[in-house]
Amino acid sequence: MTKLEIHNPFNAPVYHEETVTSTMDVSRELAASGEPHGTVIAADFQEKGRGRIRDRKWEMERGNLPFTILLHYPRIEEIPQALTLRAGLAAALAIEDFCPSLKNTVMIKWPNDLFIGSKKTAGILCEADGGNVHIGIGINFAQKLFPDHLREKATSIALAAGRDFSPCDRLRLLERVLVRLHAELETAGWRERLQQRLYKNGEQVVFVEGAAGSKNSITGCLAGIGEGGELLIVPDGEREERCFITGELL
Ligand code: BTN
């Protein structure tokens, strides 16, 4: 594992490993060995990257940007509200800082995706264990060709911006994510900030409620984010909004 010389406003080390199982696993090891709040592990390649939905793999070619930020919150009440969404917001703003031609194009699809247009460009996975939260972020960065099953669903910064990037450019983006995340966690008013960037806010949506594989789908108007980060939808034929804490927007 090497230590990268990039700015981390959390004042903690940023490590890099070429190949890992998952940066989430390494982050747990770093926590166990006493690394401080804000420590980061980035990798070139993950052999067993994982997604938010159990059993869903997260596959990324080399040249992209998978990393995990370790945060210490000894008491559960200290964990910032809506942390996954706010990490997504920080990553969206960081992508736009890094690539100004994408300004105001990166949207947050509840609860953990970043979309440019109708395609996913990044995913967030937060895991908690004994006083730590591990914020895993996978950003499709330089990849220009996606396998058939992802071609219609995924994009990257390079594809969206219509340019090529070098591997070193990833570190500038990583630095921006850390700066934006640090600022996000220090600033009140996250709900308004999120709602301005919420994918399909005010639009008609189809939402599958509950765990993966659920057949309970709801159509209605997406009405924003609640005080705890829940998704608000006014179902068709109803007047009041309902809030949802698990499920997936189609
Ligand atoms: C999702 O969209 O379901 C979440 C994807 C999260 C992927 C990132 S890549 C870095 C970190 N390591 C992992 O194994 N997963 C997260």
Q: Is the pLDDT of residue 73 over 80?
A: yes
Atom of ligand 1 nearest to the CA of 120: 2
Cβ of 113 below 6 Å from ligand 1: yes
Domain ranges of the chain: 2-195, 204-249
Residue 150 is predicted with a pLDDT of: 87
Residue with tokens 């199982």: 21
Amino acid 250 reads L
- Give the C-alpha separation, 185 to 208, whole Å: 30
Query: Which residue, judged by its Cα, is nearest atom 2 of ligand 1?
Result: 123
* 178-228 residue pLDDT tens: 999 999 999 999 999 999 999 999 999 999 988 777 788 999 999 999 999
Please compute, for residue 42, the number of CA atoms within 13 A of its CA located in the half-sphere on the CB side: 28
- Give the C-alpha separation, 175 to 179, whole Å: 6
Average pLDDT over every residue of 129-151: 93
- Give the C-alpha separation, 171 to 30, whole Å: 20
Query: Which residue, judged by its Cα, is nearest atom 15 of ligand 1?
Result: 50
Q: Is the pLDDT of residue 16 over 80?
A: yes
* 152-183 residue pLDDT tens: 999 999 999 999 998 889 999 999 999 999 99
Q: Name the percent of the chain lying above pLDDT 70.
A: 100
* 81-101 residue pLDDT tens: 999 999 999 999 999 999 999
Cβ of 229 below 6 Å from ligand 1: no
Cβ of 64 below 6 Å from ligand 1: no
Q: Name the percent of the chain lying above pLDDT 90.
A: 87
Cβ of 27 below 6 Å from ligand 1: no
**pLDDT band with cut points at 50, 70 and 90 for residue 105:** very high
Within 8 A by CB and 6+ apart from 167, the residues are 63, 142
Atom of ligand 1 nearest to the CA of 51: 3
DSSP, collapsed to helix, strand or coil, labels residue 202 as coil
The CA distances from residue 169 to 53, 69, 85, 98, 178, in Å, are: 30, 19, 25, 9, 15
Token pair of 184, please?
Answer: 């996000």
Give me ligand 1 centre to Cα 236, in Å. Answer: 33
Pocket test for ligand 1, best of 58, 108, 135, 153 (most atoms within 8 A of CB): 58
Token pair of 6, please?
Answer: 């990039």
Residue 56 is predicted with a pLDDT of: 75
Q: Which of 3.30.930.10, 3.40.640.10, 1.10.3720.10, 1.10.10.10 would CATH assign to domain 2-195? A: 3.30.930.10
Cβ of 68 below 6 Å from ligand 1: yes
